[in-house]
Structure formats: structure tokens, C-alpha cells
């Protein structure tokens, strides 16, 4: 999909929201290599002398949006209370480790028994360099490390009507062959004069020089294989020059779809370097919790009602079997949009209708603990993912404990129909299916040395019931000002909505944080006015 040409100022014109203009205007005139929308945190002095100073804010949900809002408002002395239904913070940021216990909406209870220090992120697991998630890691002192989001040694395995069908091919070989043939073809077409109406002689010369290098072409412009494909016998010393496998034939390479996932690596939010916190993504929320103050977060608090009242908001919730009420000046609701309509509420009908346009997406992961790091020892894979058109979609390798005695492999991370093939299964059935598919890619060793496992499906996870949402009429990661989406950006009297679903980075923590910042900015502007 080519870029949507949408003017930033035009977007602002549509909204007219003070909070948005506030954040955005300060970026005008800046043109750093990668620009950030600037944000000024509310500060302790801002509220001095204000009637509504130190307003009381009820925050529903202790995930990224809720904790970010609580943290930022706390900087100015707001009296924030976070209601969180779970016994932990983080929401869909969920690092599963020894002791994690969960009963899913299928009624099955799993307990994780990974060895100490091992985990996998069942939700968010990687951070692009541009996302403000990294700024919070810096601000909160959460140590980060690289996340392997690309690896030439991982495998692709796809079905096709070619000789390559069902064959596991290293990414490096797939790339070398595709780029080789691509370059050979374009070189041939250009040298035949087929593009003389769009290419000057200088263009053609420069293009030819690029293609020779890009495709590793022979002096007569042909792709004959490349060391970039890798070796079946590693080169060493003396006269051991290594052994190259031959390239796949051109037609098979193209028709097999070996290159169908190449663009993942240069997507704006997936290109290396990618980062992740040391010890699990949930370390960010442990840090938020520490800064906010655990006493301000009420765990096990299931919200039942959320209503605007004549001079504030009233939230009703149950906690440990008791019904409780929280009155506040404002409410920030960060619950999943697909769950908000179930609350007793006095929201206008058009808001309730807008919430229904948020369609929950199926997704989830399976973590498999192996007692032997076969991916390093045999396949020489240090992080990254293998990709397939089987239901598992991908196998993600750990980015920690390199050279250790064990590790947790993510046996699938898939969405939509392919995830639905797993979400109704029992955990045991999920593992069986995932291991069968994984063994077809990485070989029989995939079945051995399995110590334990844990799986989760977000549609079947209480308090989420979706991995993220797609907006009816938009694509799955936002970027469209649909009427329903736009509707929910405005507060309903004293109730504000926030979350990644109200951002252009759906399913990313960055989306939740920027949404929370927008709401904090707007609410603070209102209080401090």
C-alpha cells in the first residue's frame, strides 16, 4: 500500500482539540532525522491557584494507557486511582514466567513452570526505535536490549506449485536468489532498451552498477548463485573453501513466493534495530507501578458501571466480592472498546454505536521451553523468526540467555483465521499441532527436549477478549479517521477514552502512550484553564 498523503495540519484542523494542537504545534519547524511529537508532562506548579486543582481522576484499566495517564497526571499532583480487574498491571503486556497462572474463557487453567529467568511476552514484545515506549524505558530506568527481528539464518517454508514447495529455506538463500533474479531481469530489460522512455543513459549505467552488486550478478549480468546464500559446508582454513548449494531455478523462485515476507524487515515499525526490555516487557509496568505508587492501584477491581454525574463521574466496581463506588472529577476509561458497552453507563447512543465499530482481532502465542538450545547448536540461529504459511505463521527464537542450557521458543504468533485454528483447542492440542507444524520446518529435533509450555489466546482471555481491534472500514493498525474512531476521541462530559485503539499505532504500546498523553494534555488543559 502506498503512502496515504494526509496533511498533519489538515488533521489538526479536523479535530480542533486543544490537547492535540498543544502537542503538535511545538513540533513545527523541527526536522530532526526522526521527529517526535513533543509532549509536556503536567507539572507540580501548573495547578497552583486553580479551583479544580489536584482534581481526582478515576482511571479504568492498568495497562499501558492507564498507567501512562496515571503516571503523567501524578507528576502534577492529581489524585489518581487506577482500577485494574487483574491481579497484575500491564494488560495485554504480559510476560509469562514461572508462577504465572491463568484460567482462560475456555475454562482451562494453565500454570507456567519455566525455569527461573525464562519467560516469553504473550503480548507486546518489541519496540521500534521511534516509539516513545523507549523514552519511557529511559525515564523509568528500564534496561533495554536488542530484539532479534530479522535473521538471515531463520527459515521460510511455504506451499507452492513448484519444486520448492514445503522446503525449508534459509532467509539468506531466499533473499539472495530473489534479489539475484530480480536484478538479472531488470538488467536484461534495461539493456534491451525496454525502459528507454523512462531511463536516461546515465540512469541505466548507475542502475546496472547497482544491480550487479545488489544481485551479485556475473560480469555478463546473470545470477548464478552467491556466497550470500550460505554454505552446506562452512569455509575454514587452508583449502577448505566451503561448499555452496546451487540456487533455485528462477521460475520456481518467483512462483514459490519465497519473498512474500521480505518487506516485513523494512516496515516502518519492524525494521532493525528493534529493542525490548531486559527480563520481559512487563518490566516497564512494574516501573510505572513503582512510580505511581502501588496504593493508588486497586487490583482485582472489576468495573461494573461508569456514569457521568452532574458534577463528576461515578464508577462502581466489585473487589473481593464487595461492591464499591469511586467518585471522581474525571474518568479516563482505557478498557478495551469491545468491553465498554457492557458496563452500566449513561453514554450517549452514538458513543455506544461507535464503540461497536471496534472489532476485536484473534491472536495469541505459545511459549515452548526447551532444555536444549537446538536452534543455536544445530541451526545457528540467535534470535529472529522462521516464517511459514502453515497455521503457526512463525516460530520466534529467544533474544536472551544466548548459549544457556535452555530457552523459550514462541511456537506460534499468528492472527485471524490462522490463530482461530488454535484458540478453541485445549493447551495440549495446541502444543501438538504447533509441534507438528514446527517439526515440518525445523525437523524432528523440534519435538525433542520440550520441558514445559504455556499458551494464550487473547479472544479467550478474560478482561481483554481481543488481541487488539480493527476499526470497521479501516485497516488493522489504524490510520483512518473513520466516523466511529473520530467520535471517541472527544470526551463524553467528564469521561475520556484512551488506548492504542484510539491511535495510529494500534497494537503498539506507542499507540496507548500517545493516546494517554493526548487525554492527559486535554484534561490538564481543562483543569488548569
CA 155 to chain CA centroid, Å, is 21
Q: Which of residues 398-427 bind its own copies (CB under 8 A)?
A: 399, 402-403
Contact region for its own copies (CB under 8 A) — 301-309, 419-427, 462-470, 513-521? 513-521
| C-alpha dist (Å) from residue 11 to 187, 295, 325, 402, 522 | 43, 39, 39, 46, 17
CA 326 to chain CA centroid, Å, is 33
Polymer length in residues for the chain: 529
Q: Which of residues 301-320 bind its own copies (CB under 8 A)?
A: none
Which is closer to its own copies, CB of 110 or CB of 503?
503
Minimum Å distance from CB 67 to its own copies? 16
Q: Which of residues 114-143 bind its own copies (CB under 8 A)?
A: 129-130, 134, 137-138, 143
Minimum Å distance from CB 400 to its own copies? 9
DSSP 163-220: TTTT--EEHHHHHHHHHHHHHHHHHHHHHTTTTTTT--HHHHHHHHHHHHHHTT--TT
Query: Please, which residues have CB within 8 angstroms of residue 374's CB and are 6 or more apart in sequence?
Result: 442, 445, 446, 448, 449
Preceding amide of 353 cis, omega within 30: no
Which is closer to its own copies, CB of 362 or CB of 514?
514
Contact region for its own copies (CB under 8 A) — 16-24, 103-111, 349-357, 432-440? 16-24
Q: Is 344 in the site for its own copies (CB under 8 A)?
A: no
| Cell representation of residue 449 | 527436549
Q: Is 159 in the site for its own copies (CB under 8 A)?
A: no
Which is closer to its own copies, CB of 121 or CB of 261?
261
Contact 361, 468 (CB under 8 A): yes
| Cell representation of residue 386 | 522462521
Q: Which of 95, 110, 121, 226 binds its own copies (CB under 8 A)?
A: 226
Which is closer to its own copies, CB of 345 or CB of 486?
486
Q: Which of 103, 106, 111, 145 binds its own copies (CB under 8 A)?
A: 145
Q: Which of residues 161-180 bind its own copies (CB under 8 A)?
A: 168, 170, 172, 175-176, 178-179
Contact region for its own copies (CB under 8 A) — 71-79, 208-216, 428-436, 459-467? 208-216
Q: Is 51 in the site for its own copies (CB under 8 A)?
A: no
Contact region for its own copies (CB under 8 A) — 78-86, 308-316, 382-390, 420-428? 382-390
Which is closer to its own copies, CB of 15 or CB of 319?
15
The site for its own copies, by CB under 8 A, has a size of: 134
Q: Which of 25, 43, 44, 206 binds its own copies (CB under 8 A)?
A: 206
Which residue in the block uniquely carries the three cell numbers 494526509? Answer: 6
Q: Which of residues 63-102 bind its own copies (CB under 8 A)?
A: none
The span from the CA of 70 to the CA of 382, in Å, is 38
Q: Which of 511, 523, 524, 527 binds its own copies (CB under 8 A)?
A: 511
Minimum Å distance from CB 146 to its own copies? 4
Least Cα distance to 360 among 335, 343, 395 occurs for: 335
Least Cα distance to 471 among 462, 480, 463 occurs for: 480
Which is closer to its own copies, CB of 145 or CB of 429?
145
Which residue in the block uniquely carries the three cell numbers 493526548? Answer: 518
Contact region for its own copies (CB under 8 A) — 84-92, 184-192, 360-368, 463-471? 184-192
Query: Please, which residues have CB within 8 angstroms of residue 238's CB and are 6 or more apart in sequence?
Result: none
The span from the CA of 377 to the CA of 400, in Å, is 15
CA 161 to chain CA centroid, Å, is 33
Radius of gyration of the chain (CA): 26
| Cell representation of residue 129 | 526505535
Which is closer to its own copies, CB of 254 or CB of 305?
254
The span from the CA of 113 to the CA of 453, in Å, is 8
Amino acid at each position: 500500500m502506498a503512502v496515504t498523503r494526509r496533511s498533519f495540519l489538515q488533521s489538526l484542523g479536523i479535530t480542533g482539540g486543544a490537547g492535540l494542537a498543544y502537542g503538535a504545534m511545538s513540533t513545527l519547524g523541527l526536522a530532526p532525522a526522526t521527529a517526535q511529537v513533543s509532549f509536556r508532562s503536567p507539572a507540580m506548579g501548573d495547578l497552583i491557584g486553580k479551583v479544580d486543582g489536584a482534581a481526582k481522576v478515576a482511571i479504568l484499566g492498568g495497562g499501558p494507557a492507564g498507567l501512562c495517564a496515571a503516571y503523567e497526571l501524578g507528576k502534577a499532583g492529581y489524585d489518581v486511582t487506577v482500577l485494574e480487574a487483574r491481579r497484575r498491571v500491564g494488560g495485554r503486556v504480559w510476560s509469562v514466567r514461572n508462577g504465572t497462572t491463568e484460567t482462560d474463557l475456555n475454562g482451562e487453567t494453565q500454570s507456567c513452570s519455566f525455569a527461573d529467568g525464562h519467560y516469553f511476552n504473550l503480548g507486546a514484545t518489541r519496540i521500534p526505535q521511534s516509539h516513545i515506549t523507549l523514552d519511557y524505558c529511559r525515564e523509568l530506568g528500564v534496561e533495554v536490549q536488542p530484539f532479534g527481528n530479522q535473521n538471515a539464518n531463520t527459515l521460510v517454508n511455504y506451499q507452492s506449485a513448484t519444486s520448492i514447495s514445503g522446503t525449508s529455506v534459509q532467509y539468506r538463500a531466499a533473499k539472495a536468489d530473489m534479489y539475484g533474479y530480480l536484478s538479472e531481469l531488470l538488467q536484461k530489460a534495461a539493456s534491451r532498451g525496454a525502459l528507454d522512455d523512462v531511463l536516461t543513459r546515465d540512469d541505466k549505467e548507475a542502475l546496472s552498477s547497482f544491480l550487479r552488486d545488489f544481485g551479485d550478478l556475473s560480469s555478463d549480468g546473470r545470477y548464478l548463485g552467491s556466497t550470500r546464500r550460505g554454505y552446506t559446508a562452512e569455509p575454514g582454513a587452508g583449502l577448505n573453501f566451503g561448499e555452496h548449494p546451487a540456487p533455485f531455478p528462477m521460475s520456481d523462485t518467483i512462483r514459490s513466493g519465497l519473498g512474500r515476507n521480505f518487506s516485513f524487515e523494512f516496515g516502518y515499525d519492524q525494521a532493525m534495530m528493534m529493542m525490548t526490555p531486559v527480563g520481559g516487557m512487563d518490566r516497564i509496568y512494574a516501573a510505572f507501578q513503582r512510580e505511581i505508587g502501588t496504593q493508588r492501584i486497586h487490583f482485582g477491581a472489576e468495573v461494573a458501571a461508569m456514569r457521568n454525574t452532574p458534577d463528576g463521574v461515578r464508577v462502581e466496581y466489585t473487589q473481593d466480592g464487595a461492591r464499591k463506588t469511586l467518585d471522581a472529577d474525571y474518568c479516563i476509561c482505557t478498557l478495551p472498546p469491545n468491553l465498554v458497552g457492557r458496563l452500566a453507563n449513561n453514554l450517549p447512543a452514538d458513543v455506544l454505536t461507535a464503540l461497536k465499530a471496534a472489532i476485536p482481532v484473534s491472536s495469541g502465542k505459545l511459549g515452548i521451553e526447551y532444555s536444549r538450545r537446538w536452534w543455536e547448536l544445530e541451526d545457528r540461529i540467535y534470535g529472529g523468526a522462521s516464517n511459514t504459511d502453515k497455521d503457526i505463521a512463525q516460530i520466534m527464537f529467544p533474544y536472551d540467555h544466548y548459549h544457556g542450557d535452555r530457552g523459550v521458543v514462541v511456537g506460534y504468533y499468528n492472527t485471524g483465521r490462522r490463530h482461530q485454528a488454535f484458540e478453541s483447542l485445549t493447551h495440549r492440542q495446541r502444543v501438538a499441532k504447533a509441534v507438528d507444524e514446527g517439526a515440518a520446518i525445523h525437523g524432528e529435533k523440534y519435538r525433542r527436549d520440550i520441558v514445559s509450555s504455556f499458551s494464550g489466546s487473547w479472544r479467550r482471555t478474560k478482561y481483554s477478549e481481543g488481541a487488539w481491534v480493527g476499526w470497521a472500514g479501516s485497516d488493522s493498525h489504524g490510520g483512518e479517521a473513520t466516523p466511529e474512531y473520530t467520535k471517541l476521541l472527544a470526551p463524553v462530559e467528564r469521561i475520556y477514552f484512551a488506548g492504542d485503539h484510539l491511535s495510529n499505532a494500534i497494537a503498539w504500546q506507542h499507540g496507548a502512550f500517545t493516546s494517554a498523553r493526548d487525554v492527559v494534555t486535554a484534561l490538564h488543559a481543562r483543569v488548569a484553564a
